[in-house]
Each structure stands twice: as structure tokens, then as C-alpha cells.
Amino acid sequence: MTITPRVSVVIPVYNEGESIVRCLDRILREVLLPAEVLVVHDMPEDTTVPYAQEVARTDPRVRTVLNTYGRGPANAIRFGIDSAVAPVAVVTMADGSDDPRQIDDLARLVDRGVVVAAASRYMPGGQQVGGPRFKRMMSRWAGRTLHWFARVGTRDATNSFKAYDTDFVRTVGIESRTGFEIGLELTAKANRLRLPVAEIPTIWLDRQLGESRFDLGRFMPSYLKWYFFAYGRRLTADQIVARRGPASPAPADPTMEKENSASG
């Protein structure tokens, strides 16, 4: 009997190679809720794909998904959430920086009624280990000021490690097209809709393998756009939708996608 997933774990990847195996092993070991794990890649020749498909052959929870929305982490995350079967989507990175033991806890918060559940580095019990100093300072400052003045419900609005109500995401849409600002965008939209956001403490570790693709100078304008959007009067869902651009086409049927990716 097929068990319907309660959580879809979305992992955007870019040439992670064999290191994805360790990431997937941790997630598959620590996530106890019925789950699917979507490894979202931008191109068929991505070095992550053969290793992820090898894991998928022994664990049906894993599915490689070819992103057709355009290259880059924002598009990969958008495509992954749109492809999710479960009512909750958790976005996590492939580099080992996030703690997979917290995926269940984040998903359960959404089960209880919040639309965004954040893993927070900046609340009591949280910690950030490593990473560029200036980036850490900017992220902490943004998180604290949004928490104090916009009352967004989390001290870490910029962290990508979050769980989302997939119906909420599909209603408000994702406008980000460049980097990892999606976490901030969806937190800001939830705040303007006055929908509940919650957080749990996390310990974030700077990636040990590979190089980060985060470019602060390139992504800063988008972060600032959503930072300021978080402040303001209450909006309706229709008003949020009205400011969006044209919707992207829906991803292919998940079952067909799995068959296609497995044969690649």
C-alpha cells in the first residue's frame, strides 16, 4: 500500500556529486514522518543526478526532479515546492549546513496551523557556526529588526531552512528568481496577510564540502525588496496575487517525472 507523504523535502542542488549521498543518508535516517525527498537539479548532466538516482533505487522516498523554470536556486526551490505531493514542504540545503533532525518538528508546526515554520539561528538555543562575517552580521541584523519592528514571527526570516504550507505557497506564489531570498519573501507575505509564523532554534554549520554559490552583492537588492515589503498594512490574498507576474506552468505529473528521471 502506498503511503501518502506528509512532508516533501525539497533540496536544490548544483553539481554536488557524491556528497549528496551523505546528505540523503542523514535525511532518510532522521525524517520519521512519511516523506518524499525531491532532489531538484537544473540540468540532466548535473553531477548530483547519478548518485541521487542510485540512492533512489534502494529508497523510493527519493526522487530526482529536473527543474524547468530556469536555472538558479530560486527557480529550483519554486519548482520543487510546485512538484511537492505533501501538504508541507521543507526546504533544506545539500551542503550539510541544516540539521535534518528538525525537519519533522518544522513539518509538525505547519500541521498545527502555521504557514511558515522557521529554523532560527538567532533565537535562544540557536547558533550559527562559520560563514562569512559580514553575511552573518547582515542576516542577524535583518532577522532581529524584522522580529522587533515588523513582528514577523521569527528572528531568522532570511534562513532558507523552513517549512511551508504548500497551499499557502501556491496561493501567494513565489516571485523570487535569483537566489535564496524565497525564505524572506514567503515570511514577508505571511506577515502582510497576518498569517501565523513560528520558529524553533537550530544550529547552522557552514558547509564543509564544495563552495557556496551565495553572492551577497548580487542577491542584496532582492533581499532588501522583501525586507521592506514585510512592513506595512494588512493585505488580502487577492492583493498579494494581484502584484505577481504571470504564473509558471505547472510541473509534470510527479509519477511521470520519477519515471523519466529514473531512466535518465
pLDDT at 258: 44
Q: What is the pTM of this model?
A: 0.89
Give the residues across from 235 on adjacent strands: none
What is the helix (H) or strand (E) element at residue 7, kind and residue range?
strand 7-12
Strand segments (E) across the chain: 7-12, 35-41, 62-66, 88-91, 116-120, 127-129, 162-165, 197-201, 203-205
Q: How many Cβ atoms are within 10 Å of 213's Cβ, its own excluded?
A: 14
Residue 259 pLDDT: 38
Q: What is the DSSP string of 56-81?
A: HHH-TTEEEEE--S-SSHHHHHHHHH
Q: Name residues of the chain where pLDDT drops below 50.
A: 254-264
Task: Tell me what pLDDT residue 260 has.
Answer: 39
Q: Are 97 and 12 in contact (CB under 8 A)?
A: no
- The CB density around residue 15, as the number of other CB atoms within 10 Å, is 16
Helix, coil or strand: residue 117: strand
Residue range 2-48, pLDDT digits in tens: 789 999 999 999 999 999 999 999 999 999 999 999 999 999 999 99
Rama region for 221: left / alpha / beta (φ>0; ψ in -120 to 50; rest): alpha
Q: What is the pLDDT of residue 1?
A: 57
Residue 257: its pLDDT value, please? 44
Which residue shows C-alpha cell 537566489? 179
- Residue pair 15/8 in contact by the 8 Å Cβ criterion: no
